[in-house]
Amino acid sequence: MMETVWFILWGVLWGVYFLLDGYDLGAGALMPVMAKSEEDRKKIYNSIGPFWDGNEVWLITAGGVTFAAFPGTYATMFSALYSALMLVLFALILRGAGLAMREETANPRARRFWDVLFYVGSFLAALLFGVFFANIFKGVPIDGEGVFHGNLFTLLNPYGLMGGLLFLVFFFTHGSIWLALKTDGDLQERATRSALRFWRVLLVISVLFLVFSGILTSLYDNYLANPVLFIIPVITVVSLVLTGIFVMKRDWYKSWWTSSIYILSATLFGVIGIYPSLMPSSIDPAFSRTIHNTASSPLTLKIMLGVVVVFVPIVIAYQAWIHKLFGGKVKGDRSAYHEGY
């Protein structure tokens, strides 16, 4: 029972991370095409500056839960997929360095250098997260000892690349909606066109991903065995359609929330599909890392649940306060980034 509770929490934490850091990564990756002036670039930085480091708390929490609740899965994941995970970490470091350092210099060349790190890191992180999780959903070639029979290029299979493209496009859509919500003027108009354009692409890719998931993976097995679970993909589809409707109406608040629901439910669709595995094996299902053969003791899981009940609401309250504090339209100057600190 506790293993299942923590499996669900594990999936929710990843989903919350993607919906929060997703608008950071999307806005950052789009900066080369969205920003036409230094003022535009500052607006993009200011729109995510107060939030990005707080959003990454959810990434740390999701990784920490993997380590503490399912140490066997953590050991296999971080040894078998070490290269891929290091690339993700490297991309996030590039993004963070560019975001933090570009305002520390007035030299135009130095600022361009940090800008490049910022949007390249954002783009790579979004792509690599998609490749990584698509391979988890499909299954990775691990044996009974947790040894990975492949290399980094093994993960770059068609389904993995489709997952990377899916993540890129829904982060692009989410980031465009965020910029339309937080900016005004010409930048908001470009963000509006971008949101609608990427939403249309996302609609197509989401359908293709669902189709190929049925062909190349066993994600639908749990849904067919328990039809009530189809509420998850239904929520995913409905929230995606509503996102497009609200974007067309330029209702950015509602479109951001429906886009967030789409990201969370899409993540849960994949996570629930692999239950009870956390890391399915494509060699033999018996080699999969599951909640049953990699979980911590029931006592440990109960203690951890108590910690989560106490501290997660504090994190949520803090982030809600930060979003309220910086809830208005951003300016094209430094003050919007630094006020409140």
Among the listed residues 134, 133, 131, 121, the one whose alpha carbon sits nearest the alpha carbon of residue 27: 121
User: What is the per-residue pLDDT for 336?
Assistant: 47
* Separation of alpha carbons 157 and 159, rounded Å: 6
Q: Is 330 left (phi over 0), alpha (psi -120 to 50) or beta?
A: beta
Other Cβ atoms within 10 Å of 36 Cβ, number: 11
Helices (H) and strands (E) in the chain, counts: 14, 2
Residues of the chain with pLDDT under 50: 335-341
Note the residue count of the chain. 341
**pTM, whole model, 2 decimals?**
0.92
User: What is the per-residue pLDDT for 197?
Assistant: 96
User: What is the per-residue pLDDT for 333?
Assistant: 66
Burial of 238 (0-12, 13-18, 19+ CB in 10 A): middle
C-alpha dihedral over 218, 262, 243, 52, to 10 degrees? -140
- Dihedrals φ, ψ of 289, to 5°? -90, 115
Other Cβ atoms within 10 Å of 149 Cβ, number: 13
* Positive or negative torsion for Cα 24, 26, 31, 32: positive
* Domain span at 333: 2-338
Tokens standing for 173? 């859509």
Other Cβ atoms within 10 Å of 191 Cβ, number: 26
Q: Coil, strand, or helix at residue 290?
A: strand
Other Cβ atoms within 10 Å of 24 Cβ, number: 26
* Separation of alpha carbons 182 and 167, rounded Å: 22
Question: What is the number of alpha carbons within 13 Å of residue 315 lying toward its C-beta?
Answer: 19
User: What is the per-residue pLDDT for 340?
Assistant: 41
* Separation of alpha carbons 143 and 286, rounded Å: 9
Identity (one letter) of the amino acid at 4?
Answer: T
Q: Provide the domain count of the chain.
A: 1
Round the CA-based radius of gyration of the chain to a whole number and report it: 20
- 8 A C-beta contact, residue 130 and residue 168: yes
Among the listed residues 319, 312, 321, 320, the one whose alpha carbon sits nearest the alpha carbon of residue 9: 312
Buried b (16+ CB within 10 A) or exposed e, 201-233: ebbebbeebbebbeebbbbbeebeeeeebeebb
Distances 223 to 186, 218, 289, 301 between C-alpha atoms, Å: 45, 10, 20, 27
